[in-house]
Amino acid sequence: MKSYELKKKYIEFFKKNNHKEIVNASLIPENDPTVLFTTAGMHPLVPFLLGEKHPAGKRLVNVQKCIRTGDIDEVGDEFHLTFFEMLGNWSLGEYFKDEMIEMSFDFLINELGLDIERIGISCFKGDKDAAKDLESAKKWEKIGIKKGKIIFLPKSENWWGPAGNTGPCGPDTEMFYYTGEKTPKEFNNEDKKWVEIWNDVFMEYNKNKNGKYEKLKQRNVDTGMGVERTLMTLNGYDNVYEVDTLKPLILKIERLSRKNELRSKRIIVDHLRAATFILNEKIEPSNIEQGYVLRRLIRRAIRHGRLLDIKHRFCSEIVKEIFEVYKSEYKFDERFILEQIGKEEEKFDRALNQGLRVFENEIKNLKNKKLNGEIAFKLFSSYGFPLEMTEELAKEKKLKIDKEKFEEEFEKHRELSRTAAVGKFKSGLADHSIETTRLHTATHLLLQALKEVLKDKSIMQKGSNITHERLRFDFNFSRKLTEGELKKIEQKVNEQIEKKIDVHWEEMSLKKAKEKGISGAFEHKYGEMVKVYFIGDYSKELCAGPHVTNTKELGKFKIVKEESSSAGVRRIKAILGN
Ligand code: SER
């Protein structure tokens, strides 16, 4: 089956069941500054899952383009992708478990023609927050799934959401399909031959800012079916790159490459497809937020082009093939995309070759299995290698990087540029000028001061934008701040600056950070290991940095404006004077 057919079948089926098709929304979330990309079909629907009225009604269906970068290191294997399309349908406070499970069964068996004996079902096991989902299990059984094919799993497996820190979520029931040879008697979710193809989430809870699960006003259904993964399963392929939207791209890269590195080919195809769709949102490669993810995707693809021994600039050839594959479904701003890809490739191309030479030379003389942090830093600052790329290079040679030394160099360099009174520290990738670094540290102090003065621990960053002149900080709070409060906040921040507190960071697992109650606005952007920045005992936050080493470097903190940013979100603009 082809991708177009599956999508059409799905949409038609739900339309027949009185659903309205809604748009395939932008990849850039409109009202959620805490998340860089749309990660699921439900994402743009959050206000409606919470009870707002949707103009298209209560039964919705669509195809949604999504980006998930959490598993980016896994890309190159059989089925991890950063960009994918998701089929989804929703009940906004209308039908619930019974009707949804009936429709799921009908679609899988009667529309897709799947073998009922090869379908496995998982349901939520129950815990202190919500009861065991016996209703779903009973329904599946009644409809014809044998008991041995229905299992109960804990929250880690059978609970979905919220997409950010708070919001709609609930237990889910997941449908798996067996891809092995002999039809098994029982369903075992740990056996990789069972592939998850559809997820029905029963969103009747809202996780609030205190981490509590409260019942929502309405009981919703949110389902998601990954297009590529489902097609892989339906067609009996052993990897997603056989699917009709990805296969031509693999063939194209195969024609260009002179080496047979499967993983590199897949990384290029995946990354350039994601990059094309991000560029189509008018995002340009840059050093911040979505633009930085875009830059890393393109640069990593280029590096893997080298591994395939491609001697020329090749990105645009793949991108043109992507236009071709999706031309009947998506409208691309071809000129802009090709121009931007071309520019980024040109920018990185020469630096990459030189940097790779530096790397190769360096490892020739290595005495132990550790790459000097100074070299990693040089590759970063002079050749624009994201640290993760150098890490990947090192890993391929079974080496580790001295990250501490890297950080030290980073600090030293900043110190140098500071004494030289250079206005801007050009690190190659991130904007780490002294001004923005100081303002960045100031936002940490500001957040803690806001929590204290407004006596609200749930306050968190909803957005941050720093220029050389000022910081702009968005946070959740429901009313205007008074003059008195603003004065107190300023005072608190300045007290910490005057105390000359040391700033340091530690690396720990995200799990450990969470156990310690440390959070940050962009948790999901980070991998397993995270950096926690400490400003003495005053503030601790998950953050990628960079920061000053002591608060005495900040100067005088002054709030210049306080205003509303959006519903329930306030915005402060502040500067650092001398
Ligand atoms: N939100 C759920 C998921 O992403 C169902 O769509 O799997």
Helix boundaries (H) for 257-288: 262-279
What pLDDT shows up at residue 566?
A: 81
Residues pairing with 152 in the sheet: 123
Residue nearest atom 3 of ligand 1, based on CA coordinates: 224
What pLDDT shows up at residue 416?
A: 56
What pLDDT shows up at residue 227?
A: 98
Specify the 3-state DSSP secondary structure of 215: strand
Q: Which of 162-166, 198-202, 315-319, 471-475 has the lowest mean pLDDT?
A: 162-166
- Is residue 421 over pLDDT 50? no
Q: What mean pLDDT is predicted for residues 88-97?
A: 98
What pLDDT shows up at residue 486?
A: 97
Indicate the residue type of 136: S
How far is Cα 76 from Cα 79, in angstroms, rounded to an integer? 8
Which of the pair, 369 or 42, is modelled with greater confidence?
A: 42
What pLDDT shows up at residue 525?
A: 44
What pLDDT shows up at residue 70?
A: 81
Candidate of 205, 223, 230, 524 to mutate for ligand 1, largest count of ligand atoms within 8 Å of Cβ: 223
What pLDDT shows up at residue 522?
A: 53
What pLDDT shows up at residue 250?
A: 98
How far is Cα 421 from Cα 20, in angstroms, rounded to an integer? 60
Percent of the chain with pLDDT over 70: 94
Question: Measured in angstroms, how far is the CA atom of residue 200 from the centroid of ligand 1?
Answer: 7
Query: Do 37 and 290 meet the contact criterion of CB atoms below 8 Å apart?
Result: yes
Question: Measured in angstroms, how far is the CA atom of residue 160 from the centroid of ligand 1?
Answer: 7
460-477 burial code (b ≥16 CB/10 A, e <16): bbbbbebeeebbbbbbbb
Which of the pair, 18 or 363, is modelled with greater confidence?
A: 18
Tokens of 130: 């919500």
Please state, rounded to an integer, the average pLDDT across all residues of the chain.
90
Percent of the chain with pLDDT over 90: 67
Tokens of 243: 């699917």
Cβ-based neighbour number of residue 161 at 10 Å: 22
How far is Cα 382 from Cα 38, in angstroms, rounded to an integer? 33
How large is the angle between the packed helices 315-326 and 262-279, nearest 10 degrees? 70
Q: What mean pLDDT is predicted for residues 357-368?
A: 87
How distant, in Å, are the alpha carbons of 42, 385, 469, 519 from that of 430? Answer: 32, 11, 17, 23
Q: What is the DSSP string of 128-169?
A: SSS---HHHHHHHHHHT--GGGEEEE-HHHHEE--SSSSEEE
Q: What mean pLDDT is predicted for residues 423-446?
A: 65
Ligand 1 atom with the shortest distance to the CA of 88: 6
Q: What is the pLDDT of residues 138-157, one digit of tens each?
A: 999 999 999 999 999 999 99
How far is Cα 397 from Cα 536, in angstroms, rounded to an integer? 38
Candidate of 42, 172, 225 to mutate for ligand 1, largest count of ligand atoms within 8 Å of Cβ: 42
Residue nearest atom 6 of ligand 1, based on CA coordinates: 224
Q: What is the pLDDT of residues 509-543, one digit of tens each?
A: 888 888 888 877 655 444 566 778 899 999 999 88
Q: Which domains does the chain have, with CATH numbers?
A: 3-242 (3.30.930.10), 365-428 (no CATH), 434-577 (3.30.980.10)
Residue nearest atom 7 of ligand 1, based on CA coordinates: 224
Q: What mean pLDDT is predicted for residues 308-321?
A: 96
**Residue among 503, 94, 30 at smallest CA distance from 281:** 30
What pLDDT shows up at residue 521?
A: 64
How far is Cα 6 from Cα 330, in angstroms, rounded to an integer? 16
What pLDDT shows up at residue 432?
A: 63
Ligand 1 atom with the shortest distance to the CA of 201: 5
Ligand 1 atom with the shortest distance to the CA of 40: 4
User: Could you tell me the pLDDT band of residue 368, with boundaries at 50, 70 and 90?
Assistant: confident
- Is residue 419 over pLDDT 60? no
What pLDDT shows up at residue 427?
A: 25
| Residue in the structure block whose two tokens are 């979905």 | 160
**Residue among 285, 304, 305, 281 at smallest CA distance from 295:** 285
Question: Measured in angstroms, how far is the CA atom of residue 222 from the centroid of ligand 1?
Answer: 7
Helix boundaries (H) for 399-554: 403-419, 434-453, 483-498, 510-515
What pLDDT shows up at residue 467?
A: 78
**pTM as predicted:** 0.71
- Is residue 425 over pLDDT 50? no
Question: Measured in angstroms, how far is the CA atom of residue 298 from the centroid of ligand 1?
Answer: 27
Residue nearest atom 4 of ligand 1, based on CA coordinates: 40
- The answer for residues whose C-beta is within 8 angstroms of residue 335's C-beta and 6 or more apart is none
Ligand 1 atom with the shortest distance to the CA of 86: 6
What pLDDT shows up at residue 259?
A: 94
What pLDDT shows up at residue 209?
A: 81
Q: Which of 221-235, 254-268, 296-310, 463-477 has the lowest mean pLDDT?
A: 463-477
First to last CA, the chain: 66
- Is residue 134 over pLDDT 90? yes
What pLDDT shows up at residue 34?
A: 64
What pLDDT shows up at residue 418?
A: 43
How far is Cα 522 from Cα 33, in angstroms, rounded to an integer? 9
**Residue among 531, 528, 536, 509 at smallest CA distance from 520:** 531
How far is Cα 575 from Cα 192, in angstroms, rounded to an integer? 54
* Lining residues, ligand 1, CB within 6 Å: 40-42, 88, 160, 199, 201, 222-224
- Is residue 338 over pLDDT 70? yes
Specify the 3-state DSSP secondary structure of 575: strand
- Is residue 345 over pLDDT 50? yes
Looking at mean pLDDT, say which of 47-51, 491-495, 515-519, 543-547 comes out highest. 491-495
Tokens of 274: 């994601």
